Amino acid sequence: MSRLLRIGEEVQAALAEGRPVVALESTVIAHGLPWPDSLDATQEMLEAVRSGGAVPAVVGVTAGRLVVGLEAGDIERFAKHGRQVIKVSRRDLARALTEGCDGATTVASTMIAAAMAGIRIFATGGIGGVHRSAEGQGDSFDVSADLYELARTPVCVVSSGAKSILDLRRTLEVMESLGTPVVGYGTDSFPTFYSRDAALPVTMRVDSPEQAASLLSAQWELGLGGVLLANPVPESMALPTQTVEAWLEEALAAAQAEKVAGPQVTPFLLSHLHRRSEGQTLKANRALLIDNARLAAQVATCCSQQG
């Protein structure tokens, strides 16, 4: 095991005993939700994993180590002081570990840590993808490292599709090109984070944790990479795609008018959606995070039982 990796005691014991473990990223804690919703939602995710029969393992960088199983104090610090916690993707891991700073892991870096620790199931909100500014913005072509990590790292990511602020059609096209299975859980359409009524295709569909576990077993026996298990936002919290798209168009126009660019675009758009929806997007975000954690635990338990 790498000297740069530290596995929490509870997580280490569960892995040694062959019990199911679910990885959770820390970017959603530090940057995804405002305080104190960030901490409250994280606690609910942890409980959802436990109620599903698995052990939660929050991943993050702290004190020069990549930690799989952050302690409660670390989680609260990340949630409360998110602006002081850098976002860490694949390219940033070595720097964050060398500098010894707090780092919130993205989907890509959480997958790396999970694979290093021997964890196969990871729950999050939505993956990154192809940004809407990928064309027509000079030489910019912003494609998230999450998509490439999914293609290379044998971890199942349970999410509500990709973030709706992205170009979702192109995101699916890139995943197809990279050979990543996009599996709908109880749906034939790709869920679009806040919504579940978009007419976008998935590779295949499963309707139970047992079916998902069987698919994952075959995927990894073949020596292939990751799988995106796309679980729609709970129906009671879902927002119509057309409504979200209208809000996004407003947000994108405002971002352009205010010359918002680079890493500031995503938080700007999310903040606009929160205001425009009168808090509905935040409620949907929390609901899908908790539901994905619960499903991930169920799938991890089935994987453990199937051997």
Annotated catalytic residue, options 10, 76, 163, 250: 163
Q: Per-residue confidence of the chain (307 residues) as pLDDT tens digits?
A: 689 999 999 999 999 999 999 999 999 999 988 899 999 999 999 999 999 999 999 999 999 999 999 999 999 999 999 989 999 999 999 999 999 999 999 999 999 999 999 999 999 999 999 987 644 444 456 899 999 999 999 999 999 999 888 999 999 999 999 999 999 999 999 999 999 998 899 999 999 999 999 999 999 999 999 999 999 999 999 999 999 999 999 988 898 899 887 667 777 888 899 999 999 999 999 999 999 999 999 999 999 998 7
Q: 113, 5 in Cβ contact below 8 A? A: yes
Active site residue 80: no
Q: 203, 172 in Cβ contact below 8 A? A: no
Structural domains of the chain sorted by starting position, each given as residue range(s) with its CATH number in brackets:
5-306 (3.40.1790.10)
Annotated catalytic residue, options 9, 17, 25, 221: 25
Active site residue 163: yes
What pTM did the predictor assign? 0.94
For residue 141, give Cα distances in angstroms to 12, 117, 192, 221.
40, 32, 21, 34
Q: Which residues are annotated as a binding site?
A: 87, 107, 142, 144-146
